[in-house]
Structure 1
Amino acid sequence: MAKIAALSGFPEWLPAERLVEQHVIDVFREVAELHGFSGIETRAVEPLEQLLRKGEIDKEVYVLRRLHAEEEGAETVGEDRSRTLGLHFDLTVPLARYVLEHQNDLVFPLRRFQIQKVWRGERPQDGRFREFYQADLDVIGQDALPGHIEAEVAVVMAEILDRLPMPSVTIHANTRRLSEGFFRSIGFEDRSAVLRSLDKLPKIGPEAVRELLLTEAAASPEQADACLAFASIRTRDGSFAQQVRDLGGSGEMLEQGIAELNSVLERVEASVPGVIMADLSIARGLDYYTGTVFETFLAGHESLGSICSGGRYDSLAADNRHTYPGVGLSIGLSRLVSRLLSADLASASRSVPTCVLVSVADEQHRHLSEASARALRARGIPCEVAPTAAKFGKQIRYADRRGIPFLWFPGVDGAVDQVKDIRSGEQLDADSSIWEPPAEDRTVRILGGDATGSASR
């Protein structure tokens, strides 16, 4: 058999690692449902012409067709994009189609979360994959959506992230009206060029961005300096407003942006203290988002970039009758899990769900072992029966290698059952109808890197 080579960009976690990933998924779902969000799942494929509406993603879309499609005269990519299918590269395009397709069956505002795999043909690197889980949280309105929803979605996401076994996060927020209003008030006509330049700040630094503003945005030296000063503003409260005005910002649009951002800061701070920050350097997405935009950073791992981003958009989808504005935040879940694992920020307390291995004295008495296992499972204790009736020493080593904490010995010929704690060696009489393991052993716990916090699955 030929040597099997790993496919770059397609992660496959080991069982203990998958437990960490599953915990992140479970926390996302539990908190979202706690706030009244309903889970949906959309198909993995969409018509290629729908996927390519974002334009810049066209080189990353995986096209789907049958192996012998061309031989049978079926369509190819170049012939009919309306009939060619591609794997979705995010969950926003499918959501827009889903909302339009099911609008008569949905109740708005729609509170939706979605956790699914997506596919992108980009260059794999640290934390970036070709196949990965994405987790989205959105509230979609019909024709209108109250402004307070922007803060509400941020609060829910903050609670999700706070429950995960990792360092603290900070959600950075900006608003389109604030940035656009400022650039307009200092004399810029091409505000998109300014946003494109400021978006490069984390990668190339202020001096290089200043040069871009001068050359590509046609800024004067004074305008370039004002833009960089604006982008340097970061506050935990509403004090950003006066700083913006002191730089020359004025006008109705700017004041609307200040009010919007201040409202978000106050609402989020009241619900989840210490997590929100006004950060006027945020430029990514401001050409798409129409209100607040968010980016989220992990303390001590800022090099990873934003682990969760999103904002308000007033045109997710539209038809001849309605428009569908929304607010959404998205986590690159596999990317986050990859960092949790590689940086030892989270680990499973054991590599398998099994709490008890029920031993088998000999095959003639396997039915006793199976009966004990049924009794334990009936009370929610995860267990499995030994695969073979090997010597008890081998069965103990098998359990130990898999991290199973307890070994159960069914009584044979009327003897009493016993249970052994493999770690301490303590062995006691036990009754499978009433015995309970310690709470910390009953289910797998996901431990933080400092081992101070844990969560059970």
Structure 2
Amino acid sequence: MARTASLSGFPEWLPEERLVELHVLDTLRRVFELHGFGSIETRAVETVGQLLRKGEIDKEVYGLSRLQEDESDNPVKGGKADPNALALHFDLTVPFARYVVENAGYLSFPFRRYQIQKVWRGERPQEGRAREFTQADIDVVGDGELPFRYDVEIALVIAEALSALPIPDFRLRINNRKLAEGFYRGIGLDDTAGVLRNIDKLEKIGPAKVAELLKTELGASDEQATKALQLAAIRTEDTSFVAQVRALGVSNELLDEGLDELEQVIDAAVQRAPGKVLADLSIARGLDYYTGTVVETVLVGHEQLGSICSGGRYDALASKGNRKFPGVGLSIGVTRLVSRILSQDLAKASRSVPTAVLVALNHDDSWGAAQDVAALLRSRGIPTEVAAKAEKFGKQIKFADRRGIPFVWFTDEDGTHQVKDIRTGEQVLAAPETWMPPLEDLAVQVETTATAAATV
């Protein structure tokens, strides 16, 4: 990246960096829409009670209040968060669940949506972790039930979307909460949420410390802790994980259900996204609303960045009376991805502005005629600017060069037109009604660099 943001945790991009981000966003939109996902946007603000009803992350939530506040504006009362106070959303899944409940009568189920918005979290800023950042989510939500096949489809859509981005190779690391919880119950550990929270710390603190936490916090025996860690150590690129789990000698009905579901996901991925998916039985996901498939995605060679895409199955996040809206979805950390692309020089925009042509001025009185030329070019989709001053042509060409504009348009006194490619110096006769730049120059191209190719 060219610079560091002046306010930590709130990134701002230079124009050429923003073009890379826009390319990422446009690519994701295109892939999501090709698979039939429709776009929605939810409000940035939710009630505190809504945000905190699944999973305890209250330390990361930004409360919202007026500078000239009265008592009713204060998000914290008596040392506790007021459930009716307003706060900025920390992800897009919880607001989406509220959106589905409130609009259920207007939606067609299964409802397929994608959502690309900013979210806010009060985290300690570092690369890959910002306080304001953009996420891109896709979800499928059912009314009463949702076939498991959507778990498989979501993983395949995300694999396709990530494959279209200018990033290094990646792996979707997939597990199933039913598999994990059934296994823990099968070995006599009933506080499955507690076990999952500790297993989720494996990559941060290592197996020895996780084993110690299982024993001291949950009362696990040495044998139970060993079994839990043996399960978490299983990683395969195919369905051979099933035999490895069975070899651990644990029986449980929920375990069997989770094994079957994970086998279906991995089997489909091996066929349709070979080399992109890994069965990783250490993946737990910290939020409490996941009930089945869980996913975390890492860039190969950039694992220290953390997950760039995560999510899973949730059967009870959204409900309205006795009516349940189960769903499955994944969220891509767009800002985390773009930050890594820019900081590691993984991709670059072909120019710093959208403009392909600068129409030069012979003299100040020619500005109106230059605007006519520009209008003709724009009518055929060619991004065009008109020079502001009738300086010497050399200065107008230098201006275009500084802006990154590849072509300069000249109109002679007799009304003929010429266009100059200032990169090569070639200048040819042209007509504004018919001339087109090469396809690669018509719009900004975002290209993977040699640096990115070397990391794959």
TM over 0.5: yes
Question: Are 1:365 and 2:366 matched, yes or no?
Answer: yes
Q: Distance in 2 between matches of 1:351 and 1:144?
A: 48
Q: Distance in 1 between matches of 2:342 and 2:372?
A: 38
Q: Report how far residue 286 of structure 1 moved.
A: 7.3
Q: Report how far residue 366 of structure 1 moved.
A: 0.9
Alignment-derived partner of residue 218 in structure 2: 217
Q: Report how far residue 160 of structure 1 moved.
A: 0.7
Question: Are 1:206 and 2:207 matched, yes or no?
Answer: yes
The answer on whether the counterparts of 1:195 and 1:286 sit within 8 Å (CA) in structure 2 is no
Please, which moves more after superposition, 83-92 or 276-285?
Answer: 83-92
Alignment-derived partner of residue 268 in structure 1: 269
The answer on whether the counterparts of 2:183 and 2:255 sit within 8 Å (CA) in structure 1 is yes
Q: Which amino acid aligns with 1:16?
A: E
Alignment-derived partner of residue 41 in structure 2: 41
Question: Are 1:6 and 2:22 matched, yes or no?
Answer: no
Q: Which amino acid aligns with 2:221?
A: S
Q: Distance in 2 between matches of 1:87 and 1:243?
A: 44
Alignment-derived partner of residue 90 in structure 2: 89
Q: Which amino acid aligns with 1:399?
A: A
Q: Which amino acid aligns with 2:192?
A: R
TM-score by length of 2: 0.94
Q: Which amino acid aligns with 2:310?
A: S
Q: Which amino acid aligns with 2:116?
A: I
The answer on whether the counterparts of 1:115 and 1:133 sit within 8 Å (CA) in structure 2 is yes
The answer on whether the counterparts of 1:418 and 1:427 sit within 8 Å (CA) in structure 2 is yes
Q: Distance in 1 between matches of 2:146 and 2:323?
A: 13
SS at match of 1:281: coil
1:25-424 aligned within 5 A: 25-54=25-54, 56-70=56-70, 74-78=72-76, 81=82, 83-285=84-286, 287-412=288-413, 414-424=414-424
Q: Quick one: structure 1 residues 286 and 242, their matched pair in 2 at CA, closer, same or farther if it must change by over 3 Å?
A: farther
Question: Residue deviations 1:424-455, cap 9 Å, x none?
Answer: 111111111111111111110011122899xx
The answer on whether the counterparts of 1:185 and 1:248 sit within 8 Å (CA) in structure 2 is no
The answer on whether the counterparts of 2:122 and 2:131 sit within 8 Å (CA) in structure 1 is yes
The answer on whether the counterparts of 2:48 and 2:87 sit within 8 Å (CA) in structure 1 is yes
Tell me how large the CA RMSD over aligned residues is: 1.9
Q: Distance in 2 between matches of 1:202 and 1:259?
A: 26
Q: Which amino acid aligns with 1:274?
A: G
Report how many aligned residue pairs link the two structures.
447
SS at match of 1:357: strand
Q: Report how far residue 40 of structure 1 moved.
A: 0.2
Q: Report how far residue 217 of structure 1 moved.
A: 2.8
Alignment-derived partner of residue 432 in structure 1: 432
Q: Which amino acid aligns with 2:387?
A: A
Q: Which amino acid aligns with 1:27?
A: T
TM-score by length of 1: 0.94
Q: Report how far residue 194 of structure 1 moved.
A: 2.0
Question: Structure 1 regions of 5+ residues with no counterpart?
Answer: none
Q: Report how far residue 76 of structure 1 moved.
A: 2.5
Question: Residue deviations 1:252-271, cap 9 Å, x none?
Answer: 22221111101011122222
Question: Residue deviations 1:235-278, cap 9 Å, x none?
Answer: 11111111111112223222211111010111222222221111
SS at match of 2:175: strand
